[in-house]
Amino acid sequence: MQSTNKDWYLASFEAFEKSLNGEMKSSFHGIRKEAIGRFAELGFPTTKNEEWKYTDVSPLTRLRFQPVLQYAGEGVSKKDIERFRLGIQDSHVLVCVNGHFSRELSAIGKIPAGVRLGGLAEEIRSGNQLVEQYLARKAKYENDSFTALSTAFLMDGIFVRVPDGVVVDRPIHVIFISQNQDTEVVVHPRTLVVAGKSSQAAFVESHVSLSSRPYFTNVVTEIVLGENAVVEYDKVQMDSTSAFHISTTHVYQERNSNFASNAITFGGLFVRNNITAVLDGEGSEATLNGLYLATGEQLVDNHTTIDHAKPHCPSHELYKGILAGKSRGVFNGKIFVRKEAQKTDAKQTNKNLVLSDEASIDTKPQLEIFADDVKCTHGATIGQLDDEALFYLRSRGVGLEKARDILIYAFASDVVDKIKVAEMRETLQAMLHDRLEQSRAFNKN
Amino acid sequence: MGVRKEEKGNGMLEIIDLHAEVDGKKILKGINLKVNLGEVHAIMGPNGSGKSTLAQVLAGRESYNVTNGQVLYDGQDLLDMSPDERARAGVFMAFQYPVEIPGVSNTYFLKAGLNAIRKHHGLEELDAMEFLKFVKEKAKFVNMDETLLSRPVNHGFSGGEKKRNEIYQMAVLEPKLAILDETDSGLDIDALRIVAEGINKLRSKNNSIIVVTHYQRILNYVVPDYVHVLLGGRIVRSGGKDLALQLEDKGYDWVKEEVEAVS
């Protein structure tokens, strides 16, 4: 059975290749062929694979998703985009429909000199040197089936370049829209962000959909931080509740750079987020935060990796999960400290609020330490709402449902409050509210 | 003894033969008490006498199991109401151990409460600006440090600040019946004065207050109309404010002895 699922994608690749025509001769096509070759060898992971121990991908691989070979954003209007802006009034908006960049739907606005914001296809075509240097080089497809698939089918996506010393004041907001009224599709949203030396930018990546039919979105984002660069990365996942969302974010950091991510997961039926930060320069710092809310039959799996490759690097991690209904959560936090990485200071926390008897969470820290002078702490908690606090709120007149919501917001606020794009915080709280309402409606049915 | 016996017929709270237990252990063994509008009652007793249980039962704590008896609040069956329904109907308990809620600001917490109560009474909910103005006035009224308003509920507050926060909440929510559960315990004399002053400012003809306390000290400031002694889950003696002074002088043992001699 496993092979037929794989064969579906191999056959899709042949159709994809044919659609490329002349582009097959480009140098990047060699990488695509290598990637599909690796996928052919790897196939899809099973639960025997340590990285997929708690998450069985067969519900995903069983389905026959159609690749989207060309831009088909006709059904998407500017008005649709407005409601996906997360309350951020003033941002550089870049839109991709089914993985294809749309200049018409984007509102890039005025950008500082030297900054490039736009589609990846044109950069590949024009032979952009940074694209050649980094694209598919940081997120390794050699040992990861999903990154291999993304790379094999790579056509378009988003390219962001912030030159040395440039500060981009307004957030760069990339909206990935999935649009599939007629068929079940697979899309491969792809992003490359290259932040130059001493540059600064906030990058928001959101995932939304305009239909409720199942689709598979296989996301790969590569972020490169030059020396002393400061980047905030907020990933807001709001796919429809019939979507399969697998994402891989790979962050590569040079000396004294500072990276902070906030991974917010609200949507999807089947969600797996991988994020890896490689601290490959002394004094670089990474903060990986996350908030996930799962209700109904959702599965949300977060795998984080911090690779301490050089000395004197602090890293911080705070992932908080809210699990309601019959949902299932997984958190796996790997901290890798290489022999050279003395004076590493790594802190990891995962806290979970389990709101129903039928919801569950598997949480696992994974420390692999090869240096001897390091500080690594980790902690995980799984709990319910505090009865004392609930009674206190109710004793002041607040009804039970509202009291529960207030405590859930409070739980989430640790993560939400750390997001620097201020306008987003309120939107996220409203979204949290909506999802909790939906969850209650689901439970009543 | 100076006990005023006249029935005014404006009963705020009437407790009739109330029995309650916690984890199968009988704590209240037949409480009878009537509190009229405008009155301040003190309920005194040694540790373990059932004072706090009585307060918790009145506020609606679910872990306390009422096995017998009735409580009428403003003519309604209080025991039939959820904790939040009681609060919306005007019952307030100042907690002996106020709960810390990190991540929720004091202001947000109170706004949720006040607006729930207002909605219940058919009043319009206050928006953020109106509410802020209102709470600032109230903070001034009970001498509450304004900076505590924006901080998370009781989180990192000192013992005294927590107790003052309870009285402040009482000022904002304007209950008809306030039950102050050992609001005086653990306070130094300055904090006690401020808390007592707040209570006195809130005391009026239009509400009733039950001061549950171990010590007589607070009653020097908040002078009660009635004092009741709770022992072994029953009210064994009731009197005027002088009873509190007697207890302060002689402790609880003499009451115990008298009760035992009678039974």
Q: pLDDT for B60-76, tens place per residue?
A: 999 999 999 999 999 99
Q: Which residue of B has its CA nearest to A394?
A: B84
**Chain B residue with the nearest C-alpha to that of A403:** B112
Chain B closest-CA separation from residue A351 CA (Å): 14
A433 contacts in chain B (CB < 8 Å): none
Count of the separate structural domains present in chain B: 1
DSSP state of A56: -
DSSP class of B233: T
- Tell me if B3 is assigned to some domain: no
Residue B169 lies in a domain: yes
Output b/e per residue, A404-440; b: 16+ Cβ within 10 A: bbbbbbbbbbbbbebbebeebbebbeebbeebbebbe
Mutation pick from A353, A398, A408, A425 vs chain B, by most beta carbons of B within 10 Å, is A398
The stretch A257-284 carries a mean pLDDT of: 97
The pLDDT assigned to A1 comes to: 43
- Confidence band for A444, pLDDT divided at 50, 70 and 90: low
Nearest-Cα distance to chain A for B165, in Å, is 13
| Residue A289 pLDDT greater than 70, yes or no | yes
Does A310 score more than 80 pLDDT?
A: yes
Gap from B127 CA to chain A (nearest CA, Å): 16
What is the model's pLDDT at position A2? 45
Cross-sheet strand order for the sheet of B226-231: B91-94, B177-181, B208-213, B40-44, B226-231, B234-239
Q: Which of A394, A396, A403 sits opposite B173 (nearest CB)?
A: A396
Q: Do A395 and B84 touch (CB under 8 A)?
A: yes
pLDDT for the residue A50: 92
Optimal mutation site among B81, B91, B101, interface A, most CBs of chain A within 10 A: B101
Residue A11, classified by CB atoms within 10 Å of its CB into exposed (0-12), middle (13-18) or buried (19+), is exposed
Q: Is B84 close to A400, i.e. CB distance below 8 A?
A: yes
Q: Which residues does chain A have within 8 Å of residue B82's beta carbon, measured at their own beta carbons?
A: 394, 400
| Alpha-carbon span B29 to B69, nearest angstrom | 10
Q: Which pLDDT tens digit goes with each residue over A34-59?
A: 999 999 999 999 999 999 999 999 99
Look up tokens 């449902």; give the residue. Answer: A401
Radius of gyration of chain B (CA): 18
CB A237 within 8 A of CB A246: no
pLDDT higher than 70, residue A439: yes
CA B77 centroid distance within chain: 19
B111 Cα to chain A: minimum distance (Å): 10
Nearest to A410 among B60, B98, B104 (CB): B104
CB contact under 8 A, A397 and B93: no
Q: How much is the ipTM here?
A: 0.94
**What pLDDT is attached to residue B4?**
44
Residues A91-144: pLDDT tens digits?
A: 999 999 999 999 999 999 999 999 999 999 999 999 999 999 999 999 999 999
Alpha carbons A352 and A362: distance in angstroms, whole number: 10
Does residue A443 surpass a pLDDT of 80? no
Residue A331 has φ and ψ, to the nearest 5°, of: -130, 130
pLDDT of the residue at A27: 83
- pLDDT band per the 50, 70, 90 thresholds, residue A332: very high
Chain A residues within an 8 Å CB radius of B92? 395-396
Give the tens place of pLDDT for each residue, A156-208: 999 999 999 999 999 999 999 998 888 899 999 999 999 999 999 999 999 99
Mean pLDDT of A138-156: 95
**Mean pLDDT along residues A352-370:** 96
**Range A76-82 average pLDDT:** 91
3-state class of A297 per DSSP? coil
**Would the CB atoms of A395 and B59 count as touching at under 8 Å?**
yes
Residue B200: inside a domain, yes or no? yes
What pLDDT digit, counting tens, does each position of A212-247 carry?
Answer: 899 999 999 999 999 999 999 999 999 999 999 999
Distance from CA of A441 to the nearest CA of B (A): 22
Average pLDDT by stretches of 10, chain B with 263 residues: 48 96 95 97 94 96 95 96 98 97 92 96 92 92 86 93 94 97 92 93 96 93 96 94 89 85 75
Q: What is the mean pLDDT of chain A?
A: 94
**How confident is residue A288, by pLDDT bands cut at 50, 70 and 90?**
very high
Quote the mean pLDDT of chain B.
92
CB A282 within 8 A of CB A258: no
Whether B5 maps to a domain, the answer reads: no
The pairing of strands A100-107 and A92-97 is antiparallel
Interface test with A, best of B104, B114, B123 (most A CBs within 10 A): B104
Q: What pLDDT band is residue A3 in, cutting at 50, 70 and 90?
A: very low
The pLDDT of residue B248 is: 85
Residue A135 is predicted with a pLDDT of 96
List the one residue out of B98, B135, B143, B95 whose CA is nearest residue B113.
B135
Mean pLDDT of A54-69: 92
Q: Which residue of chain B is at minimal alpha-carbon distance from A385?
A: B101
Element (H, E) at A443: helix A422-444
Cβ contact (<8 Å) for A391 and B83? yes
Q: Which residue of A has its CA nearest to B174?
A: A396
**CA-CA-CA-CA torsion sign (A90, A91, A97, A101):** positive
CB contacts, 8 Å: A392 with chain B: 95, 98-99, 101, 153
CB atoms within 10 A of CB A445: 4
**pLDDT given for residue A26 in this prediction:** 79
- Chain B: residues touching A (Cβ < 8 Å): 59-62, 82-84, 86-88, 92-93, 95, 98-99, 101-104, 108-110, 112-114, 116-117, 120, 153, 169, 173
Indicate the SS3 state at residue A137. Answer: coil
Task: Provide, as residue numbers in chain A, all residues whose Cβ is less than 8 Å from the Cβ of B116.
Answer: 396-399, 402
Distance from CA of A412 to the nearest CA of B (A): 8
Cβ neighbours of B119 in A, within 8 Å:
none
A4 pLDDT tier (thresholds 50, 70, 90)? low
Residue A445, pLDDT score: 55
Task: Kindly report the CATH number assigned to the domain that includes residue B83.
Answer: 3.40.50.300
Chain B CB contacts of A388 below 8 Å: 99
Give the long-range contacts of residues B252-260, CB within 8 A, separation 24 or more: B252/B45, B252/B46, B255/B229, B255/B231, B256/B231, B259/B231
- Taking the CA of residue A171 and the nearest CA in chain B, the distance in Å comes to 26
The string of pLDDT tens digits covering residues A398-411 is: 999 999 999 999 99
> Using beta carbons and an 8 Å cutoff, which residues of A are at the interface with B?
386, 388-389, 391-400, 402-403, 406-407, 409-411, 413-414
The parent domain of residue B17 ranges over 11-262
pLDDT confidence of residue B3 = 42
**Strand partners of residue A259:** A231, A286
CA atoms within 13 A on the CB side of B164: 24
Contacts of A386 in chain B (CB under 8 A): 99, 101
Question: pLDDT at position B2, please?
Answer: 39
B93 vs A395: CB contact, 8 Å cut-off? yes
**Does residue B218 fall inside a structural domain?**
yes
Residue in B86, B87, B103 nearest the CB of A410:
B103
**Encoding tokens for residue A415?**
């993560």
B4, part of any domain: no
Collect all residues of chain A within an 8 Å Cβ-Cβ radius of residue B87: 394-398
- Residues 6 or more apart whose Cβ sits within 8 Å of residue B97: none
Tell me, what's the pLDDT at B9?
57
Report the candidate in A329, A266, A326 with the shortest Cα–Cα distance to residue A296. A326
